[in-house]
Structure 1
Amino acid sequence: MVPSTTRRAIVAVMAGLSTSPVVPSSAQAPTVIRLGVLSDFSGPYRDWSGPTTLACVQQAVEEMRVLRPELRVEVLQADHQNKPDVGVNTAREWFDRRGVDAIVDVNNSAVGLAVSSVAREKNKVFLASGASTAALTGAQCSPNTVHWTYDTYMLAKSTSQAMVRNGGDSWFFITADYAFGHQIERDATQFVRQAGGRVLGAVRYPFPQTTDFSSQMLQAQASGAKVLALANAGNDTVNCVKQAQEFGLGRRGIRVALMLAYLTDIHTMGLQTAQSLVLAESFYWDLNDRTRAFMDRVRGRLAGNSLNQMNAGGYAATLHYLKAVADMDAVRAKASGLETVLRMKAMPTDDDCFGPGSIRADGRKLHPAYLFEVKKPEESKAPFDYYKLVGTTPAEEAFRPMAEGGCPLV
Structure 2
Amino acid sequence: MSLIVQKFGGTSVGTVERIQSVAEKVGKFRAEGHDIVVVVSAMSGETNRLIDLAKQISNKPNPREMDVLVSTGEQVTIALLSMALEERGLEARSYTGAQVKILTDNAYTKARIREIDNDNIRADLAAGRVVVVAGFQGVDEQGNITTLGRGGSDTTAVAIAAALKADECQIYTDVDGVYTTDPRVVEKARRLDRITFEEMLEMASLGSKVLQIRAVEFAGKFNVPLRVLHSFQEGPGTLISLEEQTEMETPSIAGIAFNRDEAKLTVVGVPDSPGVASQILAPIGDSNIEVDVIVQNVGEDGKTDLTFTVNRNDLAKAEAVLQGIAKNIGAEQVKTDAKIVKVSLVGVGMRSHAGIASKMFKILAAEGINIQMITTSEIKISVVVDEKYLELAVRALHDGFELDKEPA
| TM-score (norm: length of structure 2) | 0.25
Q: Which has the higher relative contact order, 1 or 2, with Cα contacts under 8 A spaced 6 or more apart?
A: 1
If each structure's helix is expressed as a fraction of its own residues, which one has the higher value? 1
If each structure's strand is expressed as a fraction of its own residues, which one has the higher value? 2
